[in-house]
Structure 1
Amino acid sequence: MSEPTIEPPVPSHPISFVVTDDLRRSRLTVFFRLLLVIPHLIVVALWAIAALFALLAAWFAALFTGRVPAGLHDFLASYLRYSTRVTAYAYLIADPFPPFGSGGSYPLDVTIAPPQTQGRLSVFFRLLLAIPALALSNVFRSVNQIVTCLGWFYALFTGSMHESLRDLSAWLLRFETQTYGYVLLLTPRYPSLSGTPKV
């Protein structure tokens, strides 16, 4: 009689979410959410310019050494973490006004693994390889905007976000964040449709 084989656990994705939001929403900040997020969008846009130059440097470094230097990885990870928090705030996934920058805690926390060895060929063709994920991410963003619209009305009238809307929105945003993390060379792992954000 042979012993049953035990499958090793599937490793989690190097970019993951933890959602600790309590679903309560301030009706006033929900109503003015698009106006309130403008200062953060300006910071994200300015940071994106710097991130583009950092990505270029990271691409050359990874192409020659097979890994992104820790300083560049940390800078790009901070950018991704912050822009994801801003998106979570805009999409009503989290309620408190996010801090400027990626430090501190927030009801939607993005964890990003340290730099990993990456195949030089996949680094060289990263943008090409990312096209299917970017296309799906774009579709998910459109769906997320519809979910946010529904959540906006729900939160405006009830003072809370419906849990299923919040969870769907977080799942869609998680895929988008993993996609951008792949493009930004933060991980060699392709974005995953499986799994859900930890709530």
Structure 2
Amino acid sequence: MSNQIETSFQVQLDNRDRATAFARVVIAFPVFMFVSSFSIETFFSDNPMQTYGLLILPVILALLFRGVYPSYVLTFNKALFGLVNRVWAYIALLTDEYPSIEESGVVRITYPEVDGGKTLSRGLPLVKWFLAIPLYIVGIVYSIYGFIMLLLAWFNILFTGSMPQTCADIIVRVSQYWNRIYGYAIILVTDEYPSFSL
């Protein structure tokens, strides 16, 4: 088992709903507002490193002073991170299934064994955000590529009712890349530096 977050998406390639694909962002607005309600900074900040209400500071403090990742914080972060990924899968046209606020089979996220945080470094959480800067830079390039594939997929769904496998693969791989970064630098569930590859 990998020591990184592993994400799998149930991608729907054929028989796509053209009407909902056309206005996907507008249709997803209610569930986006629900996700945003977990974080005040969504409404009042222009922070590019949006964390969607994930509990980060308590994790850093608990790891630093106690050497433990609190299980209740881990449970909350896993649930919210799963919700954010379900909303993303819908907005990114990977599925026509409206994002559930409960667990669903559309997105499956496997986390490394945290073991109460005892396997995690006590001081590393203070600098992981800095160590991840090269990952962010590469991720921006990947995101531009993924956005181009998303536009191609959107037009293809509108005109043919299907999503090309190539577009879906790139969107999924870019999403998996960012999830690995979040697992390392934001959710802090691993000390293993993520790979730069898609």
TM-score of the pair, normalised by structure 1: 0.82
Paired amino acid for 2:187: L
Determine if contact 2:83/2:103 at 8 Å carries over to the other structure. Answer: no
Matched residue SS, 1:17: strand
- Within 5 A, what are the aligned runs for 1:70-89? 70-89=71-90
Paired amino acid for 1:131: I
Which structure has the larger Rg? 1
Does 2:192 match 1:189? yes
Paired amino acid for 1:97: Y
- Within 5 A, what are the aligned runs for 1:168-183? 168-182=170-184, 183=186
- Within 5 A, what are the aligned runs for 1:57-96? 57-96=58-97
Paired amino acid for 1:99: S
Return 5+ residue gaps in structure 1 as ranges: 1-10
Determine if contact 1:85/1:109 at 8 Å carries over to the other structure. Answer: no
Determine if contact 1:14/1:112 at 8 Å carries over to the other structure. Answer: yes
Paired amino acid for 1:104: E
TM-score of the pair, normalised by structure 2: 0.82
Matched residue SS, 1:109: strand
Q: 1:191 to 1:42 in 2, by over 3 A?
A: farther
- Within 5 A, what are the aligned runs for 1:103-122? 103-115=102-114, 116=117, 117-122=119-124
Matched residue SS, 1:137: helix
- Within 5 A, what are the aligned runs for 1:47-66? 47-49=38-40, 52=53, 54-66=55-67
Q: 1:138 to 1:45 in 2, by over 3 A?
A: farther
The separation in 2 between residues aligned to 1:157 and 1:79, in whole angstroms, is 34
The separation in 1 between residues aligned to 2:127 and 2:89, in whole angstroms, is 30
Percent of residue pairs identical: 30
Which of 1, 4, 9 lines up with 1:19 in the alignment?
9
The separation in 2 between residues aligned to 1:162 and 1:118, in whole angstroms, is 40
Matched residue SS, 2:188: coil
The separation in 2 between residues aligned to 1:107 and 1:159, in whole angstroms, is 20
Aligned length: 183
* 1:53-100 deviation digits (Å, cap 9, x = unpaired): 721111100112333111111111222211112112111122211102
Paired amino acid for 2:35: V
Give the C-alpha shift of residue 32 in structure 1.
Answer: 1.1
Give the C-alpha shift of residue 17 in structure 1.
Answer: 1.8
Q: 1:48 to 1:193 in 2, by over 3 A?
A: farther
